[in-house]
Amino acid sequence: MNEHLDELREFWDDFAEDYEQIQQESSFPIAEDLTAFLISEKIFPCQTFLDLAGGTGRYLSSFQQQVENYTLVDISEQMLHYAKNKAAENVLLIKQSQEAFLTQSNTRFDVVFSAMNPALKTSRDLTALQRISRNWCLLFRTIQEEDTLFSPYEATNPDLLLNQQYKTFLQAEKIPYKIKQFSYKKSEEVNREFFQAYFEDDFPAAELAMMIEKTFGDTPQKNNESRLTFELIYFQVPKAYNESVL
């Protein structure tokens, strides 16, 4: 188990710089839009807030203004390094694995939030998440990520289906929930050379040549339309469950 956690830490430490760059280059105002929605639902402002597997603090800059005491937990020291650069004085950063934090923490939060969390997969994980929430649980993921040029040749990311697993669990537990989707579109020109370089390690040369011909024909570049959809699942911890853990 410790070996697995060490490998996990090493992976995210190594990926932290690239991950932060990807987030910074994103043109979609999802953090701002999500913040505005949580205000409209009167989930924000709140006293205590947990950002579980918060990474480099993708939502930190927008969220922390609405929170009295903000706790961000992540397994990666390098991820937390980038989060620290965005954190105000009301933010506490904790380096710990999700399992250890959920098992050992005696603190409960008004709002528990987790976005794009690769370690949140089972009903046991969701039950543990509820245990440390005093009121709201927010589960946020990408559910659609596709474009017109590249997606036809790529396998679907199984993590896009995790929100459906969460819903199945909540339905089985008879826990009412709501959803809110945020969709964004982008258009950009892609040339043949970039397309070829992108796929050259994934397909044999002859097959890739046919893909390029099918996609571009006689044109040097094509317009690539991409669509990205995020989905928020939000629910209040059942009162009976809440009382049972007091």
Domain ranges (residues) in the chain: 2-188+230-244
Mean pLDDT of the region 96-100: 91
In angstroms, rounded to a whole number, what is the distance separating the alpha carbons of residues 34 and 39?
9
The percentage of residues in the chain with a pLDDT greater than 70, rounded to a whole number, is: 93
Q: Tell me the angle at which helices 77-84 and 2-25 cross, rounded to the nearest 10 degrees.
A: 30
Angle at Cα 78 formed by Cα 123 and Cα 6, nearest 5°?
55
**Predicted confidence band of residue 3 (pLDDT cuts 50, 70, 90):** low
What pTM was estimated for this model as a whole?
0.90
C-alpha distance across the termini of the chain, in Å: 30
For the cut 60, the answer to whether the pLDDT of residue 174 exceeds it is yes
In angstroms, rounded to a whole number, what is the distance separating the alpha carbons of residues 109 and 195?
46
**Predicted confidence band of residue 243 (pLDDT cuts 50, 70, 90):** low
Classify domain 2-188+230-244 by CATH number.
3.40.50.150
- What is the 8-class DSSP label of residue 64? G
Q: Using alpha carbons only, how large is the chain's radius of gyration in Å? A: 20
